[in-house]
Structure 1
């Protein structure tokens, strides 16, 4: 059997839909149909039952799937190992991230990368908001998923992995808490909390108003504590209410399409083979 024949059968066995299988494999529906017909001729019996409403595996198709899937996975793993070894792609990737919502994206990506590159390991490390670029510059991580903007001459910004609307975190009794949305102009005169040591351009990007009072504290949890206790407000992502809930805290949408984007970053002069392979895995 040709490799394409196997991939077509396995994909159709999962999708049970010719058009979706064709779209997934980037081939025509006719190619999928012809491939399955060829296999059925070879085996002398149908692998799928087709009607105008549904596609389902026959008993022979189910048996073939159960026998083929683990064997094909072993072949794919062997190919991946040989390819990685031949290209020198082995080792450990130290992957940084910031925020719980990003962790929910990073972990599946890391798992899928390990499946594709069995010679590689991935370790994740949380980065503090007050030390965004430190782990990269200290070479503690190879790549890091961080909130933008990142206008740093020694760092390269890669693909965005998460984008979420910005919200204003306020105490429930705050006058803005009952508003359907707020604008940046509404923040004039408010005390707005940010983490220590954030670049000035980062604060300007998220708080583009002149009449403002900024206070900085060690980290994100401290920001939420001060806001909840009525000391000020903070600009946060939509994940805050879901992943960092606090009694007495509410989040109001910020009008104007303001967003938090989280992108992969790396040191421009330091991108090893494993990190480069992970980038290719994410973007392809």
Structure 2
């Protein structure tokens, strides 16, 4: 059997659908049918039962699949290792992240990358909210998933991995606690806590209405503590109730299509080959590509989509 014939058979044995197999292998459905027919003539028996409703492996097909899969996986891994070594994709990829919601996305992509490039190691490390850019600048991580906006001339913003709808965190006895959703003008009447690492125009972008009080805090847990104790409110991502549940904390959806975006960021002057390979691998699965209109050396993507930023912080 030729390598292409083996791949056609194994993918069809997994998909059990001729059109999906053709789509995965970037060939026509007729090519898949012709390849399987050729193999069945060679073996003198059917590999698949076909009806108008379904495709199933025959007993011979199951035996051939079970015999071929381990050897094919070893060959694919050997080829991937040779390509990786030939292109200098060596060492360990260090990924940074800064929230539990982002961690799930990062781990899934890391596993996929390891499967695609066998033999490469990927490690992750949590980044403190008070030191978002430090690990990148100290070369402790190659890539870091950070909340937008990133306004740092020495850092480049890449594709968006996660977008979370915005919610308002309030104490359970707050006047808005039983609302289905809130608008920005209601939020603007409140004392709003936010992380002190965020640039000034970020909060302006969230709350375009005048008359607000804002106060920065060093970390997310501190923000939630102040909100739960009744000292104010905070704008948070939609996954906060799931990952950071607290008695007495209520999260209410914010009107509009506002969302917090988290993107891959790296030092403009330092992008290792293994990091480039990771970016190429994960880009098709990203929420959105990097903002094309921005100079990668001076990144000012909006923190919340759907609202025009003020000209300057009041």
**Fold match, TM over 0.5?**
yes
Does residue 1:225 correspond to 2:225, yes or no?
yes
Once the two structures are TM-superposed, the CA of residue 264 in structure 1 deviates from its matched residue by: 0.7
Indicate the residue corresponding to 1:200 in structure 2: 200
- 1:210 match: 210
Counterparts of 1:205 and 1:37 in 2: how far apart (Å)? 61
Asked whether 1:87 is paired with 2:87, we answer: yes
Q: Could you tell me how far 1:132 is from its partner in structure 2?
A: 1.8
Give the CA deviation at 1:27. 2.2
CA distance in 1, matches of 2:114, 2:207: 39
Q: CA deviation at 1:212?
A: 1.7
Secondary structure at the aligned position of 1:141 is classed as coil
**Matched positions, count:** 284
Q: Which residue of 2 aligns with 1:151?
A: 151
- When normalised by structure 1's length, the TM-score is 0.95
Following superposition, the deviation at residue 77 of structure 1 comes to 0.6
Which residue of 1 is the match for residue 13 of structure 2? 13
Sort the Cα spacing of 1:69 and 1:29 in 2 relative to 1 into closer, same or farther, 3 A. Answer: same
Matches of 1:151 and 1:27 in 2, distance apart?
44
1:227-266 paired onto structure 2 within 5 Å: 227-266=227-266
After TM superposition, the score normalised by the length of structure 2 is: 0.87
1 CA distance for matches of 2:3 and 2:177?
Answer: 59
What is the match of residue 34 of structure 2? 34
* Between structures 1 and 2, the one with greater helix share: 1
Counterpart of 2:137? 137
Distance 1:192 1:72 in 2: 57
Which structure 2 residue ranges, 5 or more long, are not aligned?
285-314
Query: 1:28-73 CA deviation, whole Å, 9 max, x = no partner?
Result: 2222211211111121111110111111111111111111111111
Asked whether the 8 Å contact 1:169–1:234 carries over to 2, the reply is yes
Q: Which residue of 2 aligns with 1:116?
A: 116
Partner residue in 2 for 1:48: 48
> What's the CA shift for 1:150?
1.2
Q: How far has the Cα of 1:146 moved from its partner?
A: 1.1
Deviation per residue, 1:51-110 (Å, 9 max, x gap):
111111111111111111111110011001111111111001110012111111111211
Q: Is the 8 A contact 2:185 2:207 kept in 1?
A: no
3-state SS of paired residue (2:170): strand
Q: Distance in 2 between matches of 1:67 and 1:177?
A: 60
Please tell me whether the aligned partners of residues 170 and 233 of structure 1 are also in contact (alpha carbons under 8 angstroms). yes
Cα deviations across residues 229-281 of structure 1 (Å, max 9, x unaligned)? 11111111111011111111111111121001111110111101111111111
The answer for the alignment partner of 2:270 in structure 1 is 270
Deviation at 1:203, TM superposition (A): 2.8
Structure 2: how far apart are the matches of 1:93 and 1:208? 40
Q: Secondary structure at the match of 2:176?
A: helix
Match of 2:299 in 1: none
Task: Answer whether contact 1:129 1:219 (CA < 8 A) is retained.
Answer: yes
Look up the SS of the partner of 1:178 in the other structure. coil
